[in-house]
Structure 1
């Protein structure tokens, strides 16, 4: 029996699925939480916050809980079905990929179980509530920042930039669309990359760009718009390692997250002449999604949409930000 249990645990680990919580106690309301597994720093931090918070509120209100992570959409669908079989009072779902979780999410709604979808939405599906950081506002803010930062260059003509996206989910789409809605038309995207939120991938993509493009093409780039701080870290490494003939004329690189690592870039990035800006997008936001699940269990009716406010962070305000509640909460675990 012990041998069988050990084999089962190993299979679950290999599959990339983590399950927290034991057998449901009779008479207790159950909150189910399903998230992606830790494929990069943001999801890793988010998982810590989600599990810690659902444990805390379950103990506080006398609820039971199930917390599951999965690396792939198919595994995540299985996790949803597993929790659904336990007759939960609500499920909080953070999809790996929205479209691929459509069937599982619909099964929750068909069963009459309230559904809260966090961060990556499922197009065409209307759950009880959707909650995320304000991705459109982030894109819009970056566009306005570009306009002001490059005001002199825009007066003389077009300004070339590169874009490094996260993945194919609704999050990058919202950020890009927000950006395009506010940025001056004279900004020209020379190339757009999809990084899957990977620092390693963004580094390799930037290295390939620097090693294959002409001197004129490289020197024409004045800015880089990215969808995540970790992407920025990869770009910084590639730029620091570049030894080619072109002069790097990049003046601004933007990120999203405003984590500790990005704050260090304001102090010393190792790159001369390049400035940085990011928008807050804290992993602790997932606590708000769990809190919506708690409200459902308490009989409250939810709004259809919730947006967590975001704040621009650059060299002018990063020190004050690091003393604030949002930053403190992020690193409270």
Structure 2
């Protein structure tokens, strides 16, 4: 839950940056802030959605009548693409988004950016970093590195040699974590990834899917 709080604070901080810019805009125009997050499919995303809704209510109280907010929760990348399109039709000036998946959401976020929407991407990242959006993320490579060191040393100490590696979802940060994980695991030649080399499948943060893999 601590990471949920950190991400929520980042979202509020991002909104604060928006407010700093907004004061110079025409006072007759109320800036519209669209927030797109995944629907709860496990505890972490449940926390993300809860904190997003809570942050909006707090900001409404802090800045009564000065900003309009709309929070949309999506149960998949197709719904989230549609949500961003709906927010553009709504006329949002700013977008805060935690992408359901990186690659499918990149084009529509870029479309929003190209139309003049200021975009803040939280946590999962986009596959295209060439256009001007704010990216708020943790040190995911370090997370993968620390995990790899722990698993590698534990397996060696206990005489274990075979393992199955699983990713979370096809998002940018997952690749960063897994690459750093394999960098550490491959330093011990006795360890064998049953999927071969640096290969792995996605468990989609599902216990059942993980058991099947």
Query: Does the TM-score normalized on the shorter chain lie above 0.5?
Result: yes
Match of 1:82 in 2: 86
Q: Retained in 2: the 8 A contact 1:153–1:159? A: no
Deviation at 1:193, TM superposition (A): 3.7
CA RMSD across the alignment: 2.2
Q: Does 1:69 align with 2:73?
A: yes
Give the alignment partner of residue 160 of structure 1, picking from 153, 159, 162. Answer: 162
Matches of 2:212 and 2:156, distance apart in 1: 31
Deviation at 1:177, TM superposition (A): 0.5
Give the alignment partner of residue 197 of structure 1, picking from 170, 186, 205. Answer: 205
Q: Retained in 2: the 8 A contact 1:34–1:69? A: yes
Give the alignment partner of residue 188 of structure 2, picking from 185, 190, 193. Answer: 185
Match of 2:140 in 1: 135
> What is the number of residues matched between the two proteins?
177
Match of 1:55 in 2: 57
Deviation at 1:150, TM superposition (A): 4.2
Q: Retained in 1: the 8 A contact 2:40–2:46? A: yes
Matches of 1:152 and 1:72, distance apart in 2: 41
Given the two structures, how large is their TM-score scaled by the length of structure 2? 0.73
Match of 2:105 in 1: 101
Matches of 2:173 and 2:123, distance apart in 1: 7
For residue 121 of structure 1, give the secondary structure of its aligned residue in structure 2: coil
Matches of 1:139 and 1:175, distance apart in 2: 4
Deviation at 1:172, TM superposition (A): 2.1
Deviation at 1:152, TM superposition (A): 4.0
Specify which structure has the higher proportion of strand.
Answer: 1
Output aligned runs, 1:1-333, within 5 Å: 27-62=29-64, 63-125=67-129, 126-152=131-157, 159-183=161-185, 184-186=187-189, 187-191=191-195, 192-205=200-213
Q: Retained in 1: the 8 A contact 2:101–2:169? A: no
Gaps of 5+ in 1: 1-25, 206-333
Q: 1:199 to 1:150 in 2, by over 3 A?
A: closer
Matches of 1:121 and 1:65, distance apart in 2: 22
Q: Retained in 2: the 8 A contact 1:117–1:127? A: no
Matches of 2:136 and 2:151, distance apart in 1: 27
Match of 1:18 in 2: none
In our comparison, the structure showing a higher alpha carbon Rg is 1
Deviation at 1:35, TM superposition (A): 1.0
Match of 1:208 in 2: none
Deviation at 1:197, TM superposition (A): 1.1
Q: Deviations over 1:278-319 (max 9, x none)?
A: xxxxxxxxxxxxxxxxxxxxxxxxxxxxxxxxxxxxxxxxxx
